[in-house]
Structure 1
Amino acid sequence: MTAISNLNIGSSTYDLDSLYNKLEAVENQSLTPITQQATTVKSQISAFGQLRSALESLQQATTKLSSVSSLNATSIVSHNTSFTAKSSSDASVGSYQIEVKQLAMAQSLLSDKISSNQQPLGTSGSQDRTMTISTGSGEPITFSLADSDTSLNGLVNAINRSGADVVATSIKSNDGEYYLSLSAKNTGANNTITLSVAGDDKLQALVGYDGSSSTTGMKQSQAGQDALLDVNGIAVQSASNTVTDAPYGVTLTLNSVSSTEERLEIANNTTDAVKNIKAWVTAYNNVQSVIASTTNFAGSSSLSTDTTSNGPLMGNGTVRDIQNQLRSVLNTTQAGALTIMAELGITQSTTKGADGSIGTLNVDEDKLTEALTSTPQAVYQFFLGDGKTTGFSTLTNQALTSILSDNYSTKGTLTAAVNALNDSYDKLEVRYDQQQSRIDATMARYKTQFTQLNKVLSQMNQTKDYLTSQFSNSDD
């Protein structure tokens, strides 16, 4: 509040402006505790935000360890020429003999010679002219053709924009003649093309094709065929050159016919599993680092009077509860051949880290790789369990959900703590506004009183001057 101006009365010994400002400063001191509490609450909310971010990253890393594919990775270690292969987590480690005997092909049709690509090829003025195209067992596509659509270029454009599963193009030969070429979009022996024109016999005679008559306008230039291959002596047939689950969990992309059998070799790929487990450890250690920084005590063994450098969550019960929940999961013995993380090469540090964190994890990558290579099923069992009540990833995810949940009916540990702090901050704002209103009212009252005092002192000063003058005259 601005200090009142001109409260003094000339030569008065009373400095009313200074007195007013001192009274206002004293009144404003009552706002300081509220402001300090609000600052503390805000810093705590911010610190909990940092902790939430770290815990959410840990939950994301945990989710990755909750799927077989993140732990049971395989890779293709052979180099093949007639095909390329990609394996999934479902693939079995081993070797397979594969021979590609035939590639899948798409059926292609070719028209007779056409002298011009611009001249209309149908009967001019034909009414209700339509073309119908079907491929394989798909639904026939029927569309109208105007006179301008009956030229070679017009037919190509009309067919390609019809949505039929064929590709049309025009081909110009060395002698200047043109041809209409039609190819199925999909390969396979059963993916055959039929094409007919209704309402224009002339155009039907030129481009019609039903696959059963040699008198049709279009002729087959390439028959559709399936891919044929042998996998460990077993015949496999596929309408596509992309063959799945032969062997199971493997996708083969056929490139060429084999000159001889080729060996496909599938091996365990521990790289991705190690990467995902190490990412989880990094996320866990980051949680501990955030906890250390937000709960830091700046003093020594004896209490320090400097509390400004302390972490905003120092001594906070919610943080201790979160730490205890995470440690409980770490210390839970899992059922199976592997029961504790140390058997995977993951151990807990017993010394305080450089950032003040306690209980961070270390990874012996060689020991972890050995476990994934020699006993992969035991590793999967340790992390996955039954996916409901057992398994390290399952229990960790449940604990983190309990901490982070923001459901309307179920508030997690951290969410409840932040909500309570937000409520406290709102109440402090109300208290601040109420106290400020009280101060404003008090200072307004002081202003009125000081103004009245100023008038009284002014009147007294005038009386003093009058009496002084009268006494001086009476002496004369």
Structure 2
Amino acid sequence: MAVINSLDIGNSTLNLDSMYAELETYESQSLTPITQQATTVQSQISAFGQLRSALESLQKATTALNSTSALNSTSIISTNQSFTATSNSNASVGSYQINVKQLATAQTLLSHAISSNNQPLGTAGVQGRTLTLQTGKGEPVTIALDDADTSLNGIVNAINKSGAGVVATSIKSNDGEYYLSLSSKETGANNTLSVSVSGDDQLQALLGYSGSDSATGMQQTAAGQDAVLVVNGIEVQSASNTVTDAPYGVTLNLKAVSNGEERLEIANNTADAVKNIKAWVTAYNNVQSVITNITKYTGGSTLSSDTSANGPLMGNGTVRDIQNQLRSVLNTTQSGALTIMAELGITQNTTKAADGSIGTLNIDETKLSSALSSTPQAVYQFFLGDGKATGFSTLANNALDNILSDNYSSKGTLTTAVNALNDSYDKLEVRYDQQQARIDATMARYKSQFVQLKKTIAQMNTTKDYLTAQFSTSDD
């Protein structure tokens, strides 16, 4: 809206500029309630945003608990010489005898001596020359070679850039001779190499290899072989030195042939489960802390006239509903050997926490670790249930979905409340714009009236001056 800096009334005893400003201030007062309501709604939306963030963190912690691997961790407690091992939640706690008989190796081929590493080795001028490499049952890789590519360095570069499952390198011996070495990238007896050259018999004679030694082609210097190990008396073969599920749920990384049997020991790892449960409790307590902050009342025993320090959602029904849904999960008795959280060492505070929050949780880690060690299956059953309608983490996740859901057909408790506030804010913006438009129209009318008044006063002043002058003349 345009602002009138001066109505230029001259020496009139009526200060029209001041009157106009006072009228504008008076008219603008009608915007104050709308602005105050908008500020309140914005603060409530912001407070719900804080609560959503805390609830989403709780949902993330709940999801982490809603799997066997989060609770049923195992770890390797033995130190072994011929292998290293890792275990997952599928591994069975116990002791295993392992003897590594043979490591998996990759096949290696070596060419005859080559006098130079940069001179072409193929027949000059040949067109359509190709080098074909195959590893085991994999797809053959064909490489086109120009004359310049047939030097030892050119062949090495072409092979290594081709993406074939082969590593090529040149080796210089003490007598100055060069050799081409090819190795399969994969270990195992079945990952044998096949090398052939088409369109150049001279290069084929140097590089050709089809699985048997040849006086004119490449020679095998190391055969590909499988790893062989014995696990609790059972022989296991593997094309790789990384052996999975022997025992089940365990990954062995073979390093050397054993001197004899080595003991692999697997134990329950309660530390990870305790960590995941503690993370959930921390997230839950944070939700309670946020709720306390956004719903706080700072007055005394009587209603305070200063409500600026009160929480923006003080007394809000949606927040109470969310609290009740979460408390319902905590108070639900689970079926199984463990029925309530207190049996796991998780209890609710009966007094206010330092930040004033009520209903926060405490953990007795010793009791929790003991339950995980002595009755792990009962702990898993308590949290997981059937994964649909029973189990603590299942119920908690369902409750949080009911609170946070933003699905088109199913809005959660919090989402519905925030959507309603956003609608209210949009309506307040419309009201504000409409009221501002009315104020602008009113002030424009006042301006027109004041300008007309200015003209009238000016005319009256002119008449006054004329009459004064006439009376002065008549007195003479």
Q: TM-score, normalised by structure 1?
A: 0.96
Bigger mean CA offset, 355-364 vs 209-218: 209-218
Output one character per residue of 1:170-215: Cα deviation in whole Å (capped at 9) or x when no partner.
1111111111111111111111111112222222222211123544
Q: State the partner residue of 2:205.
A: 205
Change (3 A) 1:219 1:303: same
Query: Do the aligned partners of residues 445 and 127 (structure 1) sit closer, same or farther apart at CA in structure 2, a change above 3 Å counting?
Result: closer
Report the Cα offset of residue 15 of structure 1.
2.7
> Do the aligned partners of residues 469 and 181 (structure 1) sit closer, same or farther apart at CA in structure 2, a change above 3 Å counting?
closer
**1:207-226 superposed Cα distances (whole Å, 9 cap, x missing partner):** 21112354451111001111
CA distance in structure 1 between the partners assigned to 2:474 and 2:115 by the alignment: 143
Deviation at 1:48, TM superposition (A): 0.9
Structure-to-structure mapping, 1:74-93, within 5 angstroms: 74-93=74-93
C-alpha distance in 2 between matches for 1:119 and 1:21? 97
2:227 corresponds to: 227
- In 2, the alpha carbon distance for the partners of 1:128 and 1:455 equals 103
| Residue 305 (structure 2) aligns with | 305
Q: Which residue of 1 aligns with 2:113?
A: 113
| Per-residue deviation, 1:264 | 0.5
The letter of the residue matching 2:17 is D
What is the correspondence of 1:169-180 to structure 2 with a 5 Å cutoff? 169-180=169-180
**Cα distance, 1:468–1:156 mapped onto 2, change above 3 Å:** closer
Counterpart position of 1:65: 65
Counterpart position of 1:55 = 55
- Say whether the 8 Å CA contact 1:118–1:152 is kept in structure 2: yes
Q: Which deviates further from its counterpart, 82-91 or 355-364?
A: 355-364
1:353-364 equivalence runs, <5 A: 353-364=353-364
Amino acid at match of 2:357: S
3-state SS of 1:36 partner: helix
What displacement does 1:159 show? Answer: 1.9
**Aligned residue number for residue 33 of structure 2:** 33
User: 1:396-415 counterparts in 2 under 5 A?
Assistant: 396-415=396-415
Letter in 2 for 1:360: T
Counterpart AA for 1:356: G
Query: Which residue identity does 1:110 align to in structure 2?
Result: L
What is the distance in 1 between the residues matched to 2:452 and 2:156? Answer: 101
CA distance in 2, matches of 1:301, 1:353: 21
> Which deviations, in whole Å up to 9, do the C-alpha atoms of 1:315-355 show, x marking residues without a partner?
11111111111111111111111111111111111112221
Partner SS for 2:445: helix
In structure 1, list runs of 5 or more residues that go unmatched: none
TM-superposed CA distance for 1:3, in Å, is 4.5
Residue equivalent to 1:370: 370
1:5 corresponds to which letter in structure 2? Answer: S
Q: Tell me the CA shift for residue 125 of structure 1.
A: 2.0
Write the distance in 2 (CA, Å) between the matches of 1:15 and 1:142.
Answer: 98
Rounded Cα–Cα distance in structure 2 between residues aligned with 1:475 and 1:175: 142
1:475 Cα shift?
5.0
In structure 2, the CA distance between the partners of 1:214 and 1:452, relative to structure 1 (3 Å rule), is closer
SS for the counterpart of 1:237 is: strand
**Deviation of 1:465 (Å):** 4.0
Q: What's the counterpart of residue 332 of structure 2?
A: 332
Q: What do the CA deviations read for 1:71-113 (whole angstroms, capped 9, x no partner)?
A: 1100000011100000011000001111111111111111111
Whole-angstrom CA distance in 1 between matches of 2:216 and 2:141: 20
Offset of 1:142 from its aligned partner? 2.0
Closer, same or farther in 2 for the Cα pair 1:198/1:29, shift >3 Å?
same
Contact kept in structure 2, 1:7 and 1:451, CA below 8 Å = no
Q: Distance in 2 between matches of 1:263 and 1:348?
A: 44
Give the distance between the partners of 2:467 and 2:118, measured in 1 at CA: 125
Tell me how far 1:19 sits from its aligned partner.
2.1
Q: CA deviation at 1:414?
A: 1.1
Deviations 1:150-180 (A, max 9, x none): 2221221222222221111111111111111
Give the match's secondary structure for 1:179: strand
Cα 1:8–1:129 shift into 2, 3 Å: closer
Comparing 127-136 and 377-386, the one that deviates more: 127-136
Structure 1 Cα separation of the partners of residues 463 and 167 of structure 2: 115
Identify the range of structure 1 (75-84 vs 12-21) with the bigger mean alpha-carbon deviation: 12-21
Q: Secondary structure, in 3 states, of the residue corresponding to 2:367?
A: helix
Q: Distance in 2 between matches of 1:115 and 1:18?
A: 106
C-alpha separation between the residues in 1 aligned to 2:167 and 2:460? 111
Matching residue of 2:289: 289
Between the aligned residues of both structures, percent identity stands at 77
Alpha-carbon spacing, 1:19–1:234, altered in 2? closer, same or farther (3 Å): same
SS of the residue corresponding to residue 179 of structure 2 reads: strand
Q: How many angstroms does 1:474 deviate by?
A: 4.5
* Conserved? CA contact 1:209–1:216, under 8 Å: no
- Residue aligned with 1:318, SS: helix
Q: What is the aligned partner in structure 2 of residue 244 from structure 1? A: 244
- CA deviation profile, 1:363-400 (whole Å, cap 9, x unmatched): 11111111111010011111111111111111111111
- Shift of residue 452 of structure 1? 2.3
Say if 2:213 and 2:219, in contact at 8 Å, map to a contact too.
no
CA RMSD of aligned residues (A): 1.6
1:270 aligns with 2:270: yes
Task: Please report how far the alpha carbon of residue 470 of structure 1 lies from its aligned counterpart in structure 2 after TM superposition.
Answer: 4.1
SS in 2 for 1:303: coil
State the match for 1:181 in structure 2.
181
Amino acid corresponding to residue 93 of structure 2 in structure 1: V
Q: 1:382–1:391: 8 Å Cα contact kept in structure 2?
A: yes
Aligned residues: 475
CA distance in 1, matches of 2:62, 2:441: 58
Code of the aligned partner of 1:177: E
* SS at structure 2 position matched to 1:79: coil
Deviates more, 1:123-132 or 1:392-401: 123-132
Q: Is the 8 Å Cα contact of residues 210 and 216 (structure 1) preserved in structure 2?
A: no
Q: 8 Å contact 2:213–2:220 — kept in the other structure?
A: no
Counterpart of 1:5 in structure 2 is: 6
1:41 Cα deviation (Å)? 0.7
What is the SS of the residue equivalent to 1:142?
Answer: strand
Mapped partners of 1:180, 1:463: distance in 2: 119
Deviates more, 1:409-418 or 1:281-290: 409-418
CA distance in 2, matches of 1:190, 1:469: 127
CA distance, structure 2, for counterparts of residue 336 and residue 6 of structure 1: 86
Q: 2:435 — aligned with what? A: 435
Q: Report the Cα offset of residue 65 of structure 1.
A: 0.2
Distance 1:173 1:4 in 2: 97
Distance in 2, Cα, partners of 1:58 & 1:364: 20
Deviates more, 1:203-212 or 1:59-68: 203-212
Indicate the SS of the match to 2:362: strand
